[in-house]
Amino acid sequence: MFVKHLTDCREFTAGDGSILQELLHPDKTALQIRYSLAHARVGPGRRTRPHKLKSCEVYYVLAGQGDMHIDRETLAVGPGCAVYIPPRSMQHIENTGDSDLTFLCIVDPAWQQEDEEVF
């Protein structure tokens, strides 16, 4: 059995400006997975920088309120929302609430720095 606690994950600022804690990545564990999983946080009134990934991504919102921007579409998101982001789509998320917007990021195949373009 493998269990990793969020409190054991180092917090860092990602290229898009979100605060991330990486939970799972195939390059950093012996697990036989092809995806990566991270916990993300965007503060009130803040937004991530527009970016594109070569991989597909899913955001699962845990807390807070925001607007998800994918290419030319914008939709309000909140707790319990799962958002599919197709590969090579321009994306960013904006916190429209008064508390942290927190969400999980699942990237498949796993996130790699060279596969991301930040604008």
Convert the pLDDT of each residue in 10-34 to its tens digit. Answer: 999 999 999 999 999 999 988 999 9
CATH numbers and ranges of domains, the chain: 39-118 (2.60.120.10)
**The pTM is what?**
0.95
Q: What is the pLDDT of residue 27?
A: 94
Question: pLDDT tier at 2 (50, 70, 90 boundaries)?
Answer: very high
Conformation bin of residue 2: beta by default, left when phi > 0, alpha when psi is -120 to 50: beta
Give the whole-angstrom CA distance, residue 55 versus residue 110.
8
Convert the pLDDT of each residue in 86-96 to its tens digit. Answer: 999 999 999 99
Question: pLDDT tier at 49 (50, 70, 90 boundaries)?
Answer: very high
Question: pLDDT tier at 7 (50, 70, 90 boundaries)?
Answer: very high
